[in-house]
Amino acid sequence: MSYIPNENRYGKMIYRRCGRSGLQLPSISLGLWHNFGDVDEYTNGRKVILKAFDSGITHFDLANNYGPPYGSAERNFGKVMREDLSAYRDQLIISTKAGYDMWPGPYGNWGSRKYLLASLDQSLQRMGLPYVDIFYSHRPDPDTPLEETMGALAYAVHSGKALYAGISNYPAPLARRAFSILRELGTPCLIHQPKYSLLERWVEAELMEELEKEGVGCIAFSPLAQGMLTGKYLKGIPEGSRAQRADGALQAESITPEVLDKINKWNGIARERGQTLAQMAISWLLKDPRVTSVLIGARTVEQLEENLKAAYNVSFTQEELRDLNL
Ligand code: NDP
């Protein structure tokens, strides 16, 4: 049966302006790094994507190498676009990235113009789209001049293959230079995508002020530290979880006794707030209005539904904030 979206979807989500741009993003966005590759069940991934859209999630984040295998998340997302969402393309913000290993040889990795522009063409082909909304440099390249990498992003925008340019994993000093180059090229940086969670807070001291000053949005990736901030690892490593799967990026060794101790304490605070740990971890990021969106992953519809509730409880007492600083 063909898909008909929930008519009330826009009443269910809170949208935030992305920096000083004209674009608003849902406070919770869905990323397709894991759970949408050819190793995963297509019908389940489709269900999660459509549930997200029905809940007001308008932003889906991809990259050339999401899968596994590389490229398969874009191909599977393209299928959902074609078969279910094509009528709603103008209601969607779709992003992709290039910067990590994608194909063999010297032109399939890092930040050259050669790689970025070829990769964008391949991404568009896999998704069956004429353009993406945001095209990112996925990580800085120490060996390519920043002017070249930013020039490729600007060209992607000028050529109509992307509407906005973004950067990810750039430390603050490099981000500042990137913003300046992109502005000069007439394609101001829309958004920065850093790793940010209760367990990973470098952006607070180093990046947020810069983003605010420059009018650049912030979308926080791995807000649940790949699932560690859900309480699921408190009693060992459950079957089917990311830390248990051979193709999962979460190393079981990262779940140290120190991490478990923090998770236990945070779990207690979440319970007192009437939230699950996953919800509190997302709410905690959204307490800062400079965070445009929190970019979650979800393996099941149930996880997605649980996490979506986080957007409605984003104020914290001073005492809670202090206790969360472990
Ligand atoms: P999260 O930190 O949100 O982790 C998602 C995982 O946590 C899920 O796949 C699931 O794993 C588990 N989980 C989620 N919700 C629940 C819940 N309610 N209860 C129990 N377990 C839950 O995000 P990701 O690490 O997946 O990253 C999100 C997105 O960020 C990516 O898809 C990608 O778009 C982007 N990203 C960008 C990067 C970059 O370099 N720019 C790098 C990494 C991510 P499980 O399988 O164990 O159930």
Our answer on whether the CB atom of 34 is closer than 6 Å to any ligand 1 atom is yes
**Could you read off the pLDDT of 135-171 as tens digits, one per residue?**
999 999 999 999 999 999 999 999 999 999 999 999 9
> Which CATH topology does 9-228+278-315 take?
TIM Barrel (3.20.20)
Cα dihedral: 140, 142, 144, 146 (round 10): 50
For 52, 60, 298, the CA distances from 46, given in Å and listed in that order, are 10, 12, 12
Please spell the DSSP secondary structure of 182-250, one letter per residue.
HHHTT--EEEEE-B-BTTB-HHHHHTHHHHHHHT-EEEEE-TTGGGGGGTTTTTS--TTSTTTSTT-S-
Whose alpha carbon is nearest atom 34 of ligand 1?
A: 31
Q: Look up residue 239 and give its two tokens.
A: 């079957």
Strands 162-168 and 24-26: unpaired
Determine the distance separating the centroid of ligand 1 and the alpha carbon of 290, expressed in angstroms.
21
Other beta carbons less than 10 A from residue 208's beta carbon: 18
Q: What's the one-letter identity of residue 284? A: W
Q: Look up residue 122 and give its two tokens.
A: 């391949």
Burial of 261 (0-12, 13-18, 19+ CB in 10 A): exposed
**Could you read off the pLDDT of 99-121 as tens digits, one per residue?**
999 999 999 999 999 999 999 99
For 14, 23, 33, 54, 252, the CA distances from 9, given in Å and listed in that order, are 11, 18, 24, 5, 37
Q: Name the β-bridge partners of 221.
A: 195, 295
Determine the distance separating the centroid of ligand 1 and the alpha carbon of 181, expressed in angstroms.
31
Strands 132-137 and 93-98: parallel
**Could you read off the pLDDT of 225-242 as tens digits, one per residue?**
999 999 899 888 989 899
Q: Among 296, 304, 307, 308, name the best residue to mutate to test ligand 1's pocket (greatest count of ligand atoms within 8 A of Cβ).
A: 296
Specify the length of the chain in residues: 326
Domains in the chain: boundaries? 9-228+278-315
Our answer on whether the CB atom of 30 is closer than 6 Å to any ligand 1 atom is no
Nearest atom, ligand 1, residue 35 CA: 9
The lowest-confidence range among 46-55, 64-73, 160-169, 243-252 is: 243-252
SS3 label, residue 296: strand
Burial of 40 (0-12, 13-18, 19+ CB in 10 A): buried
Our answer on whether the CB atom of 146 is closer than 6 Å to any ligand 1 atom is no
Residue 103, CB-side half-sphere exposure with 13 Å CA sphere: 11
Indicate if the alpha-carbon torsion angle 103, 105, 109, 111 is positive or negative.
negative
Scanning the structure block, which residue is given the tokens 């914290």? Answer: 316
**Could you read off the pLDDT of 171-225 as tens digits, one per residue?**
999 999 999 999 999 999 999 999 999 999 999 998 999 999 999 999 999 999 9
**Could you read off the pLDDT of 249-306 as tens digits, one per residue?**
999 888 999 999 999 999 999 999 999 999 999 999 999 999 999 999 999 999 999 9
Q: Which residue, 193, 70, 81, is CA-closest to 122?
A: 70
Label residue 2 by pLDDT band (50, 70, 90). Answer: confident
